[in-house]
A and B are shown apart, each in its own frame.
Chain A
Amino acid sequence: MLKTTPLNQAHRDMNAKMVDFGGWDMPLHYGSQLDEHHKVRQDAGMFDVSHMLVVDIQGEHVRNFLRQLVANNVDKLTVSGKALYTCMLNPDGGIIDDLIIYFLSETWFRLVVNAGTADKDIAWITLQRDKSAPDFDIKPRRDLAMIAVQGPNARTKVWQVIPGTQAVTENLKQFQSTAFDQYFIARTGYTGEDGFEIILPASDAVDFWKKLHTAGVAPAGLGARDTLRLEAGMNLYGQDMDETTNPLESGLAWTVDLKSERDFIGKQALLQTPIKRQLAGLLLLDKGVLRSHQKVITQHDQNEGEGEITSGGFSPTINQSIALARIPVEVTVGEDVHVLVRDKKLAAKVVKYPFVRNGQILV
């Protein structure tokens, strides 16, 4: 039996093509994935991301606990509402999950974790709490829904739909959030466009979704979400990283704080393990489509074809195929590589990513 979000029927009413996404019955698209992609880049689209889990951690010493739980440093969170993107590592430095942490108060931090890893995450966090500071609550919030409204016009549309929100959210910077009535509104996203991710009571989700739709926000499915995040150069857990890879070889060194004295789970492993691989962006020069698990051949290979595409696809904005690939660390931006597609070696170029941000092609 597939799990459903509060918007399941609303998706079906909009003729969504539904798919099994890690045990969740989710919309892949509502007719055309390409149209939805362009709508987000050019105007505004909305995604049901209620399958992701909000976890509230409440009590004394939460910050201390998070200091050692995650690889980024929660001491960067000084203003209420500020958000931090981070990985949570195992002792080997492998990535248990990537998540966003919102600082609400010294006694309340909010985590948003991936759907597929939610049970594992809760078990891990609970285990760590029990070891160290068992005086706070870890609350999975399945009573909440989450809707991402993304695109250059996304914020304006939200302001139209929830009267009064403009005044409290128009000065929010990227990675800041605020509460307003029953809404928790964060200026975050997974598309490379401006917009909000809005957490709200599950019982209000359908009404809000329909109002956004009436205001001209296009429903967008997981298909468009994937091409948008790939263009934006954002990692997908389970594809670009997992427990066998660490953040330093996953393009996420910027999210790891190794400078402070602070110890965190996985730190020793990160300091001791030589980095041999990197996550790089590829732009396909030949015709075709790059897909995950295709082999990448570079001039730095110890064994030819040891590189591998972790996420690949067709970029609707660039109109060429792009990919993220894990390749030897010696490969530099601008180098030519080859990708094994069926029986052919297709030419690709290593590029700096993101590929697209705020509607602009960057490669």
Chain B
Amino acid sequence: MSIPTHLKYTKSHEWIKAESDGTVTIGITQHAQELLGDMVFVELPKIGRTLAQKEECAVVESVKAAADVYSPLAGEVVAVNSELESSPEKINQDPYLAWLFKLKLANAADLESLLDAQGYEKVLESEEH
């Protein structure tokens, strides 16, 4: 499984993309969608909500289970991908395209604390053992 190198990651299987306007876009990884299986429901945070790092802020539910999504960083929700509410299967089709929400970071430097692709790969390897 290839892990996109232009993204950042968390141990809880979120991906984070730094946008040119200073916001970040957040979704769940290929590994996460594979584990969960067919998605049937997505609950997104409200725009304007302020999130602490690691705060539960969204839920993705598959035929199999519900999974909490944690905010990878502290910040304010500036956009949500409401298209997923009617088409949650888009996460299965392309988890790196089907973003969940965008954050304006409280502190842009926090981004550096996240895992890079190589670091995330190690997390996946350790989970397998």
Taking Cβ atoms with an 8 Å cutoff, the residues of A that contact B are: 17, 28-29, 32-34, 223, 227, 287-289, 291, 313-314, 316, 321, 342
Contact = CB atoms under 8 A, between A and B. Distances in A.
Nearest to A34: B38
Contact of B63 (A288, A313, A342): A313
A314 B59 CA distance: 15
Given A288-B41, A289-B41, A314-B61, 6 more contacts: A29-B37, A33-B38, A33-B63, A34-B38, A34-B63, A316-B40
Nearest to A341: B66
A223 B41 contact: no
Contacts of B66: 289, 291
Contacts of A313: 63
Interface in B1-42: 37-38, 40-41
SS class of chain A's interface: helix, strand, loop or mixed?
A: mixed
A287 B61 CA distance: 11
Given A223-B63, A227-B63, A314-B61, A288 B38 contact: no
B49 interface: no
A33 B37 contact: yes
B40 A289 contact: yes
A314 B63 contact: yes
Interface of B: 37-38, 40-41, 43, 59, 61, 63-64, 66, 85, 89, 92
Contact of B64 (A223, A316, A342): A223
A231 to B, nearest CB: 12
A168 B38 CA distance: 40
Contacts of A34: 38, 40, 63, 89
Contacts of A316: 40, 63
A287 B38 CA distance: 17
Contacts of B89: 34
Nearest to B41: A289
B64 to A, nearest CB: 7
B71 to A, nearest CB: 16
A287 B41 contact: yes
24 contacts: A17-B37, A28-B37, A32-B38, A33-B37, A33-B38, A33-B64, A34-B38, A34-B63, A223-B37, A223-B63, A223-B64, A287-B41, A287-B43, A287-B85, A288-B41, A288-B43, A289-B40, A289-B41, A289-B66, A314-B40, A314-B41, A314-B63, A321-B41, A342-B59
A289 B59 CA distance: 11
Contacts of B40: 34, 289, 314, 316
A227 B37 CA distance: 14
A281 to B, nearest CB: 19
Contacts of B37: 17, 28-29, 32-33, 223
Nearest to B35: A17
Q: Of residues A291, A314, A342, which shows the largest number of chain B Cβ atoms within 10 Å of its Cβ?
A: A314
A314 B64 CA distance: 9
A334 to B, nearest CB: 25
